[in-house]
Amino acid sequence: MTQEKAPLLSLEDVVFSYPDAEPALDGVSIAIHRGERIAVLGNNGAGKSTFFLVCNAILRPQHGALYSDGERIQYTKKELTALRKKVGIVFQDADSQIIASTVESEISFGPMNLRLPREEVEQLVDEAVEQMDLEAYRLRPPQYLSGGEKKRVSIADILAMHPEIILFDEPTASLDPKNTALLEGTLERLSAAGITLVVSTHDVDFAYRFATRAVVFSAGRIVADAAPEAVFSDEEVIRTAGLKRPILFDAARLVQRAVPGIDQSAAPKTLEEFARMLQTVR
Amino acid sequence: MEQTGAGTHVHSHGAKGRRGHHHTHGGGMLAIDRYAQQSRLSTVSPFVKLAFSVAVLLLCVAADSAAIGLIVSVGMLWACLVCSGAPARYVFSLMTIPVLFIVLSCLAIVFDVGRAPLGFFDIPLFGIYLSATAQSLRDALLLFFRAYGAVVCLYFLSLNTPMQEILEVLRVLRIPRLVIELMYLIYRYIFLLLDVQNRMTIAAQSRLGYADRHNAWYTFTHISGNLLASSFRRSGACFDAMEARCYDGTLRFLTRQAPFRWRHAIVCALCFLLLAAVTFVLKWKGVDLF
């Protein structure tokens, strides 16, 4: 991936505080490039959700700047529409996101707001419905769907706007294991389709498997921003951010320490990779 | 079949069906809207439905006749039962809500204030009398049937037309945008509020918050106080989510509006004309219920 081009989205020294509170973001700088899969880690209240809202210009920082393709956002109406089309947020609580009374009109809300002609809206909705496998629910009221189905609707909501980046705010927080696995599959597909993904999560095992880059927030600052292997090897970061290490990461280390002759540089992220590492002994 | 979202819903749908319509769901819409989606009249253009309901409503109010009020109430109730997807029990429970309100206002009309006991039923009160005369009773009953008929017309509309379609029609009819947006947002946020209240009540019940009357009052006041704060937070989150999808002050949805069909319009017009003819005959002959 060449990165001579300006980053898709970047923040420069962003400070944001809610009224009468400590800054929720305290000097955050980050550049997000096309095709990345970023896991955003950090405990509750570290600033992850605020970071997302700033990325979409829902919140306007008191200090610092937001750039889209290298252009500084001036917060004009036109720019905001373009930015929000480009950057979609899938909110943690699907119930707060869903506003219409059929799945179809719910998904159409974004494209309709972009003032596209009716035929185009219909086509975008059709695509999103197909991508998220919602055909059977099209005319159903989304409020009455199950948690996993609602999540799919809330993702289709965003896909219908053809975003370049999707920010997922704790997507697995209220999903059962089956739906979590489904969601991971969805993320893989989106990433393969060229959409840049930024996912905030508390599930370090998932983050380790999924991400090409891990960004750790703590008390409104970014305390680490590197490849997941590097971030999880950093004891200092793990301690300050209150994280725990992925189980496969720890397991691999234990085995590497105990078994001489094993591939010491391997960093297995899935059970299959772990098994492959074990086979290097013989 | 309905399913309950893991973790997000406190209430099961089964419980809801049993206890009536006032139990809502996570961020849910009114059950009435869900039934409207399943209405047998979903293939009828919302314009036709709105025109028909409003025309019958106006006739019912303008006829100034208890008999017509009764005919409209019974006829529209029957139409609700036959056409809407809602179960009969739900329709009847909806229909009982306005009765209380209308009866209360009719009571005020039944009783006249006078210096002498002139009615068939008089309540002495500090030297004057609250008396119910035959005339005032007749007035009150007339009002009751007129008002009830009008309410049932509106029920017919909302049991057969989803909120979004009504909004579309209002938009075409050039109702001010602000009014339409407010209607929809209030409609939506009421359910958020009810949902938050529902969750807090359940959480309080599980901690014996309603164990006795004293406790219940204490819990009730605290829940009311917290309700404001937490629904405020929740509505903030909803608004953020709307803005993230480029909401700019005008709600726009893709609606699948049933096209206008002459067949529907003619059936509606015939029903209306029949009712108008009955009204005319009754008025001409001077026949009424009392």
**B240-280 per-position pLDDT tens digit:** 999 999 998 888 888 777 888 999 999 999 999 999 999 99
According to the model, what pLDDT value does residue B76 have? 94
Average pLDDT over residues A138-161: 90
Q: How much of chain A exceeds pLDDT 90, in percent?
A: 77
* Statement: residue B234 has pLDDT above 90: no
Residue B169 banded pLDDT, cuts 50, 70, 90: confident
Residue that wins the pLDDT comparison between A38 and B195: A38
The dihedrals phi and psi of B3, each to the nearest 5 degrees, come to -130, 155
**Pairwise CA distance, residues B122 & B120, whole Å:** 7
* Cβ separation A113–B256 shorter than 8 A: no
According to the model, what pLDDT value does residue B30 have? 64
* B47: its two tokens: 């314009």
Distinct helix (H) and strand (E) counts, chain A: 12, 10
* Statement: residue B6 has pLDDT above 90: no
**B-contacting residues in A 210-239 (Cβ below 8 Å):** none
According to the model, what pLDDT value does residue B10 have? 36
Task: Supply the DSSP string of A76-118, one letter for each residue.
Answer: -HHHHHHHHHHEEEE-S-HHHH--SSSHHHHHHHHHHHTT--H
Here the ipTM equals 0.84
**B-contacting residues in A 60-79 (Cβ below 8 Å):** 77
According to the model, what pLDDT value does residue A2 have? 46
| Residues contacting residue B174 through CB under 8 Å, at least 6 positions apart | none
* A202: its two tokens: 């508390």
Query: Could you report the per-residue pLDDT of B88-125, keeping only the tens digit for each?
Result: 898 998 899 899 999 999 988 888 877 777 777 778 78
Helices (H), B64-133: 66-83, 88-110
* B5: its two tokens: 């979202």
Query: Could you report the per-residue pLDDT of A101-135, keeping only the tens digit for each?
Result: 789 989 999 999 999 999 999 999 999 999 999 99
Average pLDDT over residues B19-26: 39
| The residue type at B70 | L
- With vertex at residue B187, the alpha carbon angle to CA B181 and CA B192, rounded to the nearest 5 degrees, is 120
According to the model, what pLDDT value does residue A165 have? 96
Average pLDDT over residues A70-75: 93
According to the model, what pLDDT value does residue A51 have? 96
Q: Which of A86, A69, A82 is nearest to A3 (CA)?
A: A69
Residue of A nearest to B163 (CA): A101
According to the model, what pLDDT value does residue B13 have? 40
CB B83 within 8 A of CB B38: no
Residue of B nearest to A91 (CA): B241
Average pLDDT over residues B201-223: 83
By CB atoms closer than 10 A (0-12, 13-18, 19+), residue A43 is middle
Q: Looking at domain A9-245, what is its CATH homologous superfamily? A: P-loop containing nucleotide triphosphate hydrolases (3.40.50.300)
Residue of A nearest to B165 (CA): A101
Q: What is the CA radius of gyration of chain B?
A: 23
* Cβ separation A95–B26 shorter than 8 A: yes
* Cβ separation B246–A148 shorter than 8 A: no
* Statement: residue A96 has pLDDT above 60: yes
* Cβ separation B33–A141 shorter than 8 A: yes
Kindly list the distances between the CA atom of residue A142 and the CA atoms of A42, A151, B3, B267, in Å, as whole numbers in the listed order. 31, 10, 11, 33
Residue that wins the pLDDT comparison between B187 and A162: A162
Q: Does A93 touch chain B (CB under 8 A)?
A: yes
Q: Does A101 touch chain B (CB under 8 A)?
A: yes
CB B181 within 8 A of CB B251: yes
Residue of A nearest to B27 (CA): A95
According to the model, what pLDDT value does residue B2 have? 37
Residue ranges per structural domain of chain A? 9-245, 246-282
Residue B11 banded pLDDT, cuts 50, 70, 90: very low
Pick from A22-26, B166-170, B187-191, B246-250: least confident: B187-191
* Statement: residue B31 has pLDDT above 80: no
* Statement: residue B8 has pLDDT above 60: no
The dihedrals phi and psi of A38, each to the nearest 5 degrees, come to -105, 130
- Rounded to the nearest angstrom, the minimum Cα separation between B6 and chain A is 5
- The overall average pLDDT reported for chain B is 82
According to the model, what pLDDT value does residue A4 have? 62
How many other C-beta atoms can be found within 10 angstroms of the C-beta atom of residue B207? Answer: 10
